[in-house]
Structure 1
Amino acid sequence: MSRVLQAWSSMSSRSRFFVRRLRERLWVKPLMICLLSIAAAFTAGLADQFEFEYIPEISRESVETLLSILSASMLVIAVFAVGAMLSAYASASNAATPRTFPVVVSDDVSQNALSTFIGSFIFSIIAQIALMNGYYEEQGRFALFLLTALVFSVVILGFVRWVDRIARLGRLGSTIDKVEAVVINTLKQRARHPTMRANKAGEFETGIAIYADRVGYVQHIDVAKLQRLAEQQDFRLQVAAMPGSFATPGQALAYINGVIDDEAAIASIKEAFILGGDRTFDEDPRFGLVVLAEIASRALSPAVNDPGTAIDIIGTLLRMFVIWTDNYEEVDSEAVEFNRIAVPELSASDMMDDAFNAIARDGAGTIEVALRLQKTFEALALLENNNIKVAASQHADYAYKHAELALKLDEDIATLRSAMAWKNAVS
């Protein structure tokens, strides 16, 4: 029974990963809606098979007129929508960072609106052709009229929602909010399962190294599949390359404690590590922190000179570490689901490196940013997490050293030094 559950968990884990990748493709939803539109146009004809006591008489000409209006307008609107969306995507990438593109392009409202416009066009064309060839009788024409009215309503509502969304989609604030939402979700999942439902790394000794066959970022690890293979081949495995790691043929993906001579099993272990050309947000919380730090660094560049955005992102990063602390659950070695697999936990120091180092460097010459960093580190040092406390103290020193070299006024340096008085109280 346990093997069946593990197989199901493995399949669902990989399926969820690939479904999330499909959400980043603009053609998926329009294709599904197009197929649904074709089915709806022909389904209306099924009404002719039923007898009704009273059916309002709908002339063929009136339905043709409605469908003609729909087909003539929807293709134009769909083309306009694509142009507006591409412009918003380009604006988001330029204002923030190109790494935000997968988050922006996954916007449900925009994808749904585009799908509605294209699907309505396909529905009107198919329905017109069927109507002109006598596919519908009296009941079918009435059903088609109702469907057409419904399509009009959906198009109008979708267009109104889309106009409101597209006006905000390319804005920097909207992009930051979207990235924050995705990263918070990823952080919560990892905080609740720091070792991905496996043992802590170091629970057993390392052994035979399993190397990657190609170069790429680890995007997903199928831990359930690794557990199933470990049970079948009687070995224990320690993951060495976590999601977000850059894998090369000379870098170990995992270490096996045991004997394994089956080449097929080794190949299956490698297949459990999905590699790609880019990092993804789904299982890589550190990538989200890096992206937010990149946005802040760009805002602090001389060409942009927008310290307000950097300060806003510092507040966002603080919220994320608070959420991490609030949701963090210690690993119970007796309750792990994958007892033959060991996975390293995220390092608080590494996470703070990703979040704050670039901002501390690029914002060192701006006293407002330097002060906000020190206040943030003070807040982090007060959290009930010893690892974060230690890392906050270290990063406060790091940020101060950068600022001391970059600030020109002694008064600013003195102000910043006084803002670090919290270190004496905490220590």
Structure 2
Amino acid sequence: MGRIMSAERLRFVFNRFRERLWVKPLGVALLSIAAVFLASLADDTSLARLFPRTAVDSLETLLSIMASSMLVIATFSVGSMVAAYNAASSSATPRSFGVVVADDVSQNALSTFIGAFIFSIVAITAVKNNGFEAAGLFVLFVLTALVFALVIFTFVRWVDRIARLGRMGSTIDKVEAAAAEALQRRRRAPTLGGVPAEGAPVGQAVFAPSVGYVQQIDMYRLQAWAEQAGRRVRVVALPGAFLFPGRALAYVPGPAEGVDHDEVAAAFDIGDERLFDDDPRFGLVVLSEIAGRALSPGVNDPGTAIDVIGTLVRLFVQWRAPCPADEPARPIHDRVAVPELDIADMFDDAFTAIGRDGADTVEVVLRLLKALHALADTGDVAMAAAARWHARRALACAESRLPVAVDLARVREAGAFAGPMAAD
């Protein structure tokens, strides 16, 4: 069966290319080569006699300056970007590397510098070999001036960005944006475009062909197979699930005959690491890791943990907000059943580590309890239950580690909304 390239699949593939530093520079380099050859076409137009004459020596000098300087700037930009990536991985968490390396401004800057270098090399080679007449030289001069202007604008903009890239605040913002995008996408399609899964899964189990994480599910491919086979599919491994021998990807109700295990398993992209795209819980995990590292004795930065708590509250409020009437995606894969995300699991991803690692820091515990109190008052029953459970857990951790009676009294007052620990 041929693979269907759906819009979701194309988005997934496009995002993987965005994380490759060579893609944009290669595209701009090819574009710059094409620009040089297109300039020579001006010599063959009827407007060639209207172009002013351009001194070859001045153009060669300009291109030589660009060629010698752009390679240096490109090398400098690569070094600065690598330093920023290392800073993001060491100060925040290595799991944030994917969103930092996909920074558009830095990639565009590197692409512009390399493209300008390639443009100048190709152009000066063509000029020295008499590849242009008067009209072509003038068009090439205009293109060179435009490239210079673009380089200057890009460099100034990039310097402002590189000063922030890799800093803790910038990394948190990028992770929040990636998590918010994944949450909004899942909020619009809680079952990935399929129908809600009900009851326990039954039927023929389809197991993972390898060990790793589910990165994406090709729902169109599952639907196409189910329609062709006249069967239904029950997904049990959502994006972000860790797979190992004996862990089922999906179940196909009915007899074993006619179940194409390889085709069903092929609809699941499995990789060595989790990705932000279709895994909203991964963004929550990364934010929690950033807070946990900030609360470690070697860093001792409770302010960052407090910032992360505020970020998590924003994300959960956005998740709980009602979907506009024109936003929800109606089920289009009626033969594929998919479970929805469990809000209790999402709270575990977000707040378990912070409640444990920040239990001996009164300002972190207070902010965490106030945040959970705010989430408990959103009106969502499941979210309120999860918030109260984590508040009771955070309070229990604090009671075992806070040495000052006054601080402990304040924490108990802030956590009073959750009730006693035994009330579950």
Give identity over the alignment, percent.
54
228, 232, 235: which one aligns with 2:231: 235
Decide whether the 8 Å contact of 1:192 with 1:329 is kept in 2: no
Question: In structure 2, the residue corresponding to 1:164 is in which secondary structure?
Answer: helix
Decide whether the 8 Å contact of 1:91 with 1:171 is kept in 2: yes
Q: Which sections of structure 2, spanning at least 5 residues, go unmatched?
A: none
Corresponding residue for 1:44?
A: 39
Decide whether the 8 Å contact of 1:190 with 1:196 is kept in 2: yes
247, 251, 269: which one aligns with 1:251: 247
TM-score for both structures, normalised by structure 1? 0.94
Deviation, structure 1 residue 134: 1.1
Decide whether the 8 Å contact of 1:233 with 1:260 is kept in 2: no
Question: Cα deviation per residue 1:218-243 (whole Å; 9 max; x = unaligned)?
Answer: 00000111011101001111101110
Runs of 4 or more above 6 Å deviation = none
The CA distance in 2 between the partners of 1:222 and 1:271, in whole Å, is: 9
276, 284, 297: which one aligns with 1:281: 276
Decide whether the 8 Å contact of 2:388 with 2:417 is kept in 1: no
Corresponding residue for 1:355?
A: 350
TM-score for both structures, normalised by structure 2? 0.95
Alignment of 1:78-157 (within 5 A): 78-157=74-153
Alignment of 1:5-44 (within 5 A): 10-44=5-39
Decide whether the 8 Å contact of 1:300 with 1:306 is kept in 2: yes
Deviation, structure 1 residue 31: 0.5
Deviation, structure 1 residue 335: 4.6
Moved more, 251-260 or 178-187: 251-260
1:317 aligns with 2:312: yes
402, 405, 410: which one aligns with 1:415: 410
Decide whether the 8 Å contact of 1:290 with 1:354 is kept in 2: yes
Corresponding residue for 1:196?
A: 192
The CA distance in 2 between the partners of 1:317 and 1:328, in whole Å, is: 19
Deviation, structure 1 residue 329: 8.2
Deviation, structure 1 residue 286: 0.6
Question: Cα deviation per residue 1:384-404 (whole Å; 9 max; x = unaligned)?
Answer: 211101101111111111010
1:188 is aligned with what amino acid? Q
The CA distance in 2 between the partners of 1:205 and 1:295, in whole Å, is: 36
Decide whether the 8 Å contact of 1:404 with 1:413 is kept in 2: yes
**Cα 1:82–1:334, aligned 2, differ >3 Å: closer, same or farther?**
closer
Q: Which sections of structure 1, spanning at least 5 residues, go unmatched?
A: none
Question: Cα deviation per residue 1:310-350 (whole Å; 9 max; x = unaligned)?
Answer: 011000000000000014589xx995211111111111110
1:344 aligns with 2:328: no
Decide whether the 8 Å contact of 1:88 with 1:170 is kept in 2: yes
Alignment of 1:59-74 (within 5 A): 59-74=55-70
**Cα 1:386–1:125, aligned 2, differ >3 Å: closer, same or farther?**
same
The CA distance in 2 between the partners of 1:158 and 1:35, in whole Å, is: 19
Alignment of 1:253-272 (within 5 A): 253-259=249-255, 261-262=257-258, 265-272=260-267
Question: In structure 1, the residue corresponding to 2:321 is in which secondary structure?
Answer: helix
The CA distance in 2 between the partners of 1:236 and 1:329, in whole Å, is: 30
Q: CA RMSD in A?
A: 2.0
The CA distance in 1 between the partners of 2:265 and 2:50, in whole Å, is: 66
Question: Cα deviation per residue 1:117-151 (whole Å; 9 max; x = unaligned)?
Answer: 00100000001111111110000000100100010
Decide whether the 8 Å contact of 2:365 with 2:398 is kept in 1: yes
Decide whether the 8 Å contact of 1:192 with 1:327 is kept in 2: no
Question: Cα deviation per residue 1:236-290 (whole Å; 9 max; x = unaligned)?
Answer: 1110111000111211000001235347x32111110000000000000111000
The CA distance in 2 between the partners of 1:94 and 1:334, in whole Å, is: 39
54, 62, 67: which one aligns with 1:58: 54
The CA distance in 2 between the partners of 1:46 and 1:302, in whole Å, is: 66
159, 164, 167: which one aligns with 2:163: 167
1:144 is aligned with what amino acid? L
**Cα 1:260–1:49, aligned 2, differ >3 Å: closer, same or farther?**
farther
Alignment of 1:391-410 (within 5 A): 391-410=386-405
**Count of residue pairs the alignment pairs up:** 417
The CA distance in 1 between the partners of 2:25 and 2:73, in whole Å, is: 14
